[in-house]
Amino acid sequence: MSRLADFFKETHTALGVFYPLHCLVAGFPSLDAAREVARNLENKGVGKGKTITVEGAELVELEKEETGWGTT
């Protein structure tokens, strides 16, 4: 299981599309910018382990794992 699949274990797909429930997925111009936002969120009380930062390719790979024949 990928790191993202583990993080999103409470989510699912709908109509063959990755559909995270109770989550916010955001894109940033750089991984460093995303990490800074994650740190700020944690410092403002979101909680350690409630955020994750990854490159876009890792999110695309999760989508490939979660969708297709035989998945729901």
- 25 assigned to some structural domain: yes
- 61 assigned to some structural domain: yes
Chain centroid to CA 66: 12
Per-residue pLDDT, averaged over 3-8, amounts to: 80
- 16 assigned to some structural domain: yes
For 8, 14, 55, 58, 67, the CA distances from 51, given in Å and listed in that order, are 11, 23, 14, 15, 23
- 72 assigned to some structural domain: no
What pLDDT shows up at residue 28? 93
pTM flag (> 0.75): no
Q: How many domains does the chain fold into? A: 1
50 token code pair? 């409630």
- 39 assigned to some structural domain: yes
> What is the residue range of 8's domain?
3-66
Quick check: 65 pLDDT over 60? yes
Summarised one tens digit per residue, pLDDT across range 37-55 is 999 999 999 988 889 999 8
Chain centroid to CA 26: 9
